[in-house]
Homo-oligomer: A and B are copies of this chain.
Amino acid sequence: MATCRKLTKQLMKELLDSIDTILLDCDGVLWHSNIAVPGAAETINKLRSMMYTCHFSFLQGKQPIFVTNNSTKSRLQYQEKFTKMGFIVSKDEIFGTAYCAALYLKHKLNFTGKVYLMGMSGLEEEMKLHGIDYIGTGPDNVEGQILDHRADNVVLDPDVNGVVVGFDQYFSFMKLLKAASYLKRPNSVFIGTNIDQQFPMRNSELIMPGTGSLVRPVEVASNRTATTLGKPSKFMFECIQEKFDVNPERTIMIGDRLNTDILLGKNCGLKTLAVLTGVTSEEEILGYQGSEKEKERELVPDLYIESIGHLGKLLD
């Protein structure tokens, strides 16, 4: 039986004593799309700046670090979004998969060459900032008709030796064809920023497909498997550790999704806290506690609370 406790004022005191760093997922925790979760900015700003005494020692504020699988924005673009919503934040504290994809290519693979990039401006910006050559962004559709599955007019770039798939609203058959074709080249690199199936949508009849539904077709067509970087892959935590002196035992991961956020925390030996403002319900968490499936019990967070705003109130 895995145990998850609801965060109370008493537990909050113990928690604050035991952590220095707070990793936070963004969508579903701090905001929904472009609407902030009530109290989110106040809570984070307070945690950062709080100075208080406890057990006769003087404690410093907590370091927030933002960890998102969303690849559409660069760190700078995220900083703007955070600032608009009232968060005090430095771009160095923001780890999105656009940034991490650039780090992975640059530092993990020592990649030289050119990538075929499926992605939006955030991914482009991070590639540029890290000096990684790329092609492929923007619309690219089949012109005329592909008859008898011939595509005689498609010309590939001889220098491309890698494919990076992030969220791309211009995803198209032509892009799929080109990505798969580049992946036919021996030793070509294949990275997916993340494998989330959908973006969270509240009260909508629509499903907004996530990057996972763009990575999979490239995998199917190319008959290859992408290296994927987002949570729950440890790579994002490694990126954080490169930049911050983070002690996993004194770090908590706060998120709304069990199989990405909470699992990242578990994979990296962090404490874990789920909020109920995103994709996971209280019933689900409590149900998983006594699940017969080990995979489900592994997803149970240490703690849960209604929302980041409720957490803020426990600080008063």
Minimal beta-carbon separation of A69 from chain B (angstroms): 12
Contact indicator A216/B220 (Cβ below 8 Å): yes
State how many copies of this chain the complex holds.
2
* A72-B173 Cα distance, complex, nearest whole Å: 15
Also in contact, A207 and B220, with CB within 8 A (given A141-B139, A150-B34):
no
Chain B residue numbers with a CB within 8 Å of A220 are 197, 209, 212-213, 216
Contact indicator A184/B169 (Cβ below 8 Å): no
Contact indicator A149/B222 (Cβ below 8 Å): no
Minimal beta-carbon separation of A225 from chain B (angstroms): 13
Q: How large is the interface on A (under 10, 10 to 19, 20 to 34, 35 or more residues)?
A: 35 or more
- Within 8 Å by CB of A146, from B148, B151, B169, B221, lies B169
The reply on A214 being an interface residue by CB < 8 A is yes
Binds B, one of A1-9, A198-206, A296-304: A198-206
The reply on A19 being an interface residue by CB < 8 A is no
- Within 8 Å by CB of A216, from B70, B139, B173, B216, lies B216
The reply on A248 being an interface residue by CB < 8 A is no
Minimal beta-carbon separation of A61 from chain B (angstroms): 29
Contact indicator A207/B177 (Cβ below 8 Å): yes
- Within 8 Å by CB of A213, from B168, B172, B199, B221, lies B221
Contact indicator A221/B207 (Cβ below 8 Å): yes
* A216-B180 Cα distance, complex, nearest whole Å: 15
Which residue of the partner chain B has the closest CB to A177? B209
Minimal beta-carbon separation of A26 from chain B (angstroms): 11
